Each structure stands twice: as C-alpha cells, then as structure tokens.
Chain A
Amino acid sequence: MWKKSLIAIVTFLGGVYFFLEFVVPATIPWKTTSGVVLSKPTSSELEIGLVRETASIQVMDRTTMVRRVGSGALEQALPDSIRPGDLVTVTTPAGYSTTGIVMPESSPRWVKLGRVAASKTVGIEKSILIRRMRARGSGEQVGLDKLNASSSASADWVQVGARTYLSDWYDNVNDFFIVLGSMAWGMGLLSLWLVHSSNIRKRRTEWSLSVLFFAAVALGVVAGLGFGLPEDSREWTKKLSDIVMFDLLRPLGSTVFSLLAFYLASAAYRSFKAKSREAVLMMVAALTVMLGQLSLHAWLTSASTWILYIVTTGAVRAMEFGLMLSGIAIGLRLWLSLERGAFFDREV
C-alpha cells in the first residue's frame, strides 16, 4: 500500500509544480515593466521606453512593411515575422505610411504601432527577471548582454519584473527525469543480460546468436570510447567507433528502412481492394491524390490539392483538438490518481 501512496504523492506534487509553472506568470504582473530597451544596459540598470499606442493598421494583401534595423538600414518585413519592439514603416495600399514601434498586441492581420512616451530606469537585482518578447508565443528569458537596444531603430521589447521563482526550478525538476532515465538504462541492460544468458545456459534454439549479442555489446563498449573524439583523431578507438557507426550500423539501418518499400506495396494492395463503401472512398481519394501529382489535367491537380489541403486539414485539426482535450483529461486523471488499470490499480 505504501508504494501506491508514494507514487500518488510524487505524481501529485510533480503535477502541481508543472501546472503552477505553466499558469503562473514568470514575473509578478503588478511589479513588471514592459517596453523597448532604449540604451545599452549596465550591470545595475536598464532603461526602458514606455510606449503609447499611436496607430492601429489593418494588414491587407498589398500592405508593405519596412523594418529599420540597428545599423540604420531598412529591410522588408513580412507581417508574421515582425516582433514587438521593431521600428517599422507600414504603407497601406492607398499609399499612406505610418512609422512606429510594433506593440505586443499586434497580430499579422492588424499591426498596432506606438511611440516612446516616457522612459523608466529599472534597477537590476538578483530577484529581477528579464523576458524578451518573441514574434510568437510567450517571452524568453535573456541575460543583459543579449539585449538589443536602440532609440532610433528596432530594439528588443522586454518585460522586466520581480520573478515568481517557479521557473527557476524547472531544470532541477527535469534533472529528476534524467536521473530516473539513467537508472532505467541499467534495468534495460539487465533485462537483455537475463534473457540472453538464459538462452546460452539452457542451450535454446539459436543460442549462438546470444553469444554474438554479448560480443556485440563488448565491441560497442570499446568502440564507444572513441565516440565524440575529434574528426582528425588518430586514436584506434575513434577508427573502431567510425567502423561500428558508419560501416555497420548505418548500412544496417538503411537496409531495414528499405524493407518499408515492399511492405508499403503489399499494404497498399490490400487497402485498395474495394471491400466496403469506406474502402471504395479511400481508394478513390488515394487514386485522385496520386494521379494529381502527375499533372495530367488541371482539374485532377485541383482535386488532389483540395483533398490534401482542405479535407485532410479539417480531419487532422479535429483529431488534434480531440487529442489535446484527451491529453488534459488523462493528465488530470493521472495527476489526481484517478487512473485505474495501470499504476494505481489494486496492489496484490
């Protein structure tokens, strides 16, 4: 019973940590300053420009965007590549141009521009966390030396504030998995040793292959000594490692992979037998897609593209939604030890 309780407690605590790490922001919201980096930071201070919105522009097909980079040069920017903090000039199809700093509320469809209305100097202490906004997703933690600063060109948009400390333990918690994984490798090798030594001891069929297995393990261990040595190394272990990796394992892997071609042919032959309505539908769709790749006729290519990118995309997205929700449900069941049948079953 103690084993079940221990697993349940460790699972719950681990789950609590990862859940909180995800939902709790990296910095305390009311102690966080958000804006562009105006000047090169010192080790104790960071000057941040507080940006006020000046324009909100809809991005259409013929809208152009030009980004001013650090050297003063101008470069073309695509709507989905602009980052908060970029200094851009947006020109609408009607010819109106607006220049400003891209704000985090922007999207590829609608750009919000602003200008620096005030500046604020933030003291850098040990408890302060600096996060740089990316083009997509949440910010990334960066050091002071990695920040791009400018008051007249594109710069980094940062969020600077007192850290909530949860993210600091992320690597340590993940190291726990690495330690467990390393122990598991030993268990895997033990399992192999038990099976093959038993084969040899009991002289089972093909026991000579088990002897070969131990010889291969010994060879792998010796060859492993040369793994990772510089390319021009003249060590014999390096040569042995290259022989095992490139002259033995790689061709063997390619051989296995090539088996797939034959298996694909036999599986496709079976699938294309029109046994049911669904099979007929699958066969017609597959033939359309295959023939569409040959550019025989424009409508065939269109039909093929439609099946590949419209019908399939819809189905795939539906599956992804289902997987995501099922993932949350199964995660919740494991986290709260409600899952039966695997780890939390009755102990005998």
Chain B
Amino acid sequence: MDHANTQIVIATFAVIFIILYKIFSARAGRDIYIRRIAGLNALDEAVGRATEMGRPMLFHPGVGPITDLATLAALGVLSHVARLGARMGNRLIFVTAVPVLVPVAEDIIRQAYQSEGKPELFRSDDIRYLAAGGDQLALGSIDLMRKEETASHFFFGAYDYTSLLLTEPGQHTGAVQIAGCRDYFQVPFFIASCDYTIICEELYSASAYLTREPTMLGSLIGQDLAKIVILVIILLGTLAITAGPTVIHYFEQFVGGPYK
C-alpha cells in the first residue's frame, strides 16, 4: 500500500481541480472543439458495411480484468457499437476471457437493443465466455470469425501478445477491423493488421468522443490542460539539469525526490 507524498497529493488535487473545473465550465455551455479521431469515426462505417453484407460483427474487449480502466473504456465503445448495430438491425457477437464481463456486456447490449426499439434482435448466446486464457480466447475467436463469417471486428481494451493472433486472421478474411489499445507495445501489431487503430489514451477518450456530452468533453479539455502543466514542469526540469547539479537537486526536492 503506497501512500502519496506531499507533492503527489498536491499534483492529484491540482489535476482533479483542473478536470472538474473544465467539466463544470463545459456544462455551463462553453463551446468545445476536439480533433477528429479517424478510428472512432469509422465505427459507423464498419457497422454499416457488416449490415450491408448481412453478416454479424465481433466485439473483443481485450484480456484485462473489469477493474482495468482500458476494459471500462472498451465497455463505453461497446455500448456505442451495440446501439449502431441495433439501429441498423445487425447482430453483435461479444467474446471474452473474463467471466465477470459476461453479465455486464449482456446488460449493456440488451439495453442498446431495447433503447433502439429492437429487443427481439438481442440474443443472449451472442455474449460468449470462450476461455479463461488469452491464447485459448484467440483460438476461439478465430474459430468464431470463420464459422459466423463476421464482417466487422472491434478490438478495444487491454491486450497482450495475443493481439496479432486475434487480428491477423480477420485481415485474411477481409473483415473491417478497428482496434483501440492501451498497451503501446501492442499498438504496432494493431497498426499492421487493422484498418484503423486508436492509440493509447485515445481509447480512454472514446466515450467522450462518441457521446459528445459536455461533461465528458470538459474532462477531455481538463486533461489536456493538465498535460500543459506537466509539459511546463518537464521544461523546468530540462532547464534545471542544464543549470547544474545544485539547481537540479533543489528541483528534485521540489517535485519529489525518489526517497520522499
């Protein structure tokens, strides 16, 4: 159980303050601009293509546990994809290696189909717990892609070495593939084998981008402001180390040395 030192407490409260301030100013009606993220824009296109071809879609929420932020962010994208699928009258197959995700995903997808007025299209056996391990899940997913002839694949969440095992078969079958991965070591594999890739923190911003709610957009702007603050500290650190050992020592004491 690590406890925050004074500097971390100050930094945590400062970041929380900036994010909450931006959320509340966004709620007050301030216009917010965020750049386009091609991978998230392409979700509609991928769902539309699968519907035109009359083939189902596959959603894979990664291999992280439900307590992983990447998995939670993936569930936000799942809700959006399920809604699009329901609106267009298409099937969405959800596969996972994490048992606790089964009821959660079932609830999210059922709600999506109900809110689009097509509850009859929801099939609970489309939410599948395939295996307990990453490689078995990859094999099960490949088998599913082949059997169900899925036309669009969505890979969002935390991934390990199985990322390429999951995406390369889809590339060979010609499915549209969109991936969003938190783990930067896996990002190159997704870039090589998917049509669109959402990189690292873009995954965490996906819900905000897709829902366009002021609260969510405000938090995005807040984290960008916090990034600027960190950038300033990095610049100060660069100047301090250039200025000499005495200055960098005091700077380290100020921002929190390793023993604090």
When chains A and B are docked, how far (Å) is the Cα of A23 from the Cα of B245? 31
B201 CB, min distance to chain A CBs, angstroms: 4
Known: A108-B258, A329-B219, A341-B80. A137 touches B2 (CB 8 A): yes
B: contact size bracket: 35 or more
Interface residue SS majority, chain A = helix
A341 touches B102 (CB 8 A): no
In the assembled complex, 5 residue pairs joining A and B whose CB atoms fall closer than 8 Å, in A order, are A107-B259, A328-B223, A329-B223, A330-B219, A340-B211
Name the residue on B nearest A60 (C-beta): B245
With A138-B3, A267-B168 known as contacts, the answer to whether A341 contacts B223 (CB < 8 A) is no
- For B121, the chain A residues whose CB sits under 8 A away are none
Which residue, B67, B100, B127, B246, has most C-beta atoms of chain A within 10 A?
A: B100
Contact B79 A342 (CB under 8 A): yes
Q: Is the CB of A105 within 8 A of B257?
A: yes
A321 within 8 A of B: yes
Q: Is A298 an interface residue (CB 8 A)?
A: no
If A185-B99, A325-B223 touch, does A109 touch B252 (CB 8 Å cutoff)?
Answer: yes
Bound form: Cα–Cα A316–B125 in Å: 40
B-side contacts of A328, CB under 8 Å:
12, 15-16, 19, 223, 226
CB distance from A112 to the nearest CB of B (A): 9
Q: Are A333 and B100 in contact (CB under 8 A)?
A: no
B 194-205 to A, binary, CB cutoff 8 A, 1 in contact else 0? 000001110011
Q: How far is the CB of B185 from chain A (nearest CB, A)?
A: 9
Q: Does A345 contact B (CB under 8 A)?
A: yes
Contact between B23 and A338, CB atoms less than 8 A apart: yes
Whether A236 sits at the interface, judged by CB under 8 Å, is no
In residues 97-153 of chain B, which contact A (Cβ within 8 Å)? 98-100, 102-104, 108, 111, 114-115, 124-125, 127-129, 132-133, 135-136, 138-139, 147
Among A141, A266, A326, A342, point to the contact of B205 (Cβ < 8 A). Answer: A326
B213 CB–A CB distance under 8 Å: yes
Q: Which residues of B contact A110 (CB under 8 A)?
A: 245, 249, 252
- CB < 8 Å neighbour of A133 from B79, B108, B182, B259: B259
A58 CB → nearest B CB, Å: 5
- Contact indicator per residue, chain B 65-87, by CB within 8 Å of chain A (1) or not (0): 00101001101111110000000
Are A341 and B115 in contact, CB atoms less than 8 angstroms apart? no
* Pair B138/A256 contact, Cβ less than 8 Å: yes
Main DSSP-derived SS at the B contact region: helix
Question: In chain A, what residue has the closest Cβ to B185?
Answer: A316
Contact residues of B between 216 and 260, Cβ < 8 Å to A: 216, 219-220, 222-223, 226-227, 230, 245-246, 248-249, 252-253, 257-260
Check if B215 sits within 8 Å of A323, measured CB to CB.
no
Q: Does A264 contact B (CB under 8 A)?
A: yes
- A330/B72 in contact, CB under 8 A: yes
Stretch at the interface among A189-197, A225-233, A300-308: A189-197
The interface stretch among A44-52, A143-151, A176-184 is A176-184
B38 touches A (CB below 8 Å) = no
Which chain A residue lies CB-closest to B132? A188
Beyond A105-B259, A137-B2, A343-B75, whether A184 also contacts B207 by CB under 8 A is no
Chain A residues with CB under 8 Å of chain B are 21-26, 58, 80, 84, 104-110, 133, 135-138, 141, 167, 170, 177, 180-181, 184-189, 191-192, 194-195, 198, 205-206, 253, 256-257, 259-260, 263-264, 266-268, 270-271, 316, 319, 321-323, 325-334, 338-343, 345-348
The reply to whether A107 and B249 contact each other, CB–CB distance below 8 Å, is yes
- Contact between chains at A325 and B249 (CB < 8 Å): no
Contact A109 B248 (CB under 8 A): yes
Residues of B within 8 A of A347 (CB): 111
Question: With A137-B2, A325-B227, A338-B23 in contact, do A319 and B200 touch (Cβ < 8 Å)?
Answer: yes
Q: Which residues on A sit within 8 Å (CB–CB) of B223?
A: 325-326, 328-329
Query: In this complex, what residue of A is CB-closest to B103?
Result: A187
Q: Which residue of A lies closest to B22 (CB)?
A: A329
CB distance from B28 to the nearest CB of A (A): 15
Q: In the complex, what residues of B have CB within 8 A of residue A133's CB?
A: 259
> In the complex where A322-B227, A326-B223, A333-B215 touch, is A205 in contact with B147 (Cβ < 8 A)?
yes
| Top 6 A-B pairs, shortest CB-CB distance | A188-B99, A184-B100, A326-B204, A322-B201, A263-B168, A267-B192
Q: B104 to chain A: which residues have CB within 8 Å? A: 343
Contact between B15 and A192, CB atoms less than 8 A apart: no
Which among A181, A185, A195, A329 is the interface contact of B19 at CB below 8 angstroms?
A329
Alpha-carbon gap, A31 to B239, bound state (A): 39
CB of B37 closer than 8 Å to a CB of A: no
Asked if B193 is an interface residue, CB under 8 A from chain A, the answer is yes
Residues of A within 8 A of B204 (CB): 323, 326-327, 329-330
| Pairwise interchain contact A23-B4, C-beta atoms closer than 8 A | yes
CA distance A342 to B213 in the complex (A): 14
Contact across chains for A107 and B19 when beta carbons are under 8 A apart:
no
Would A323 and B165 count as touching, CB distance under 8 A? no
CA distance A34 to B174 in the complex (A): 65
The minimal Cβ–Cβ distance linking B11 to chain A, given in whole angstroms, is 10
Most chain B C-beta atoms within 10 Å of own C-beta, residue among A106, A191, A194, A348: A191
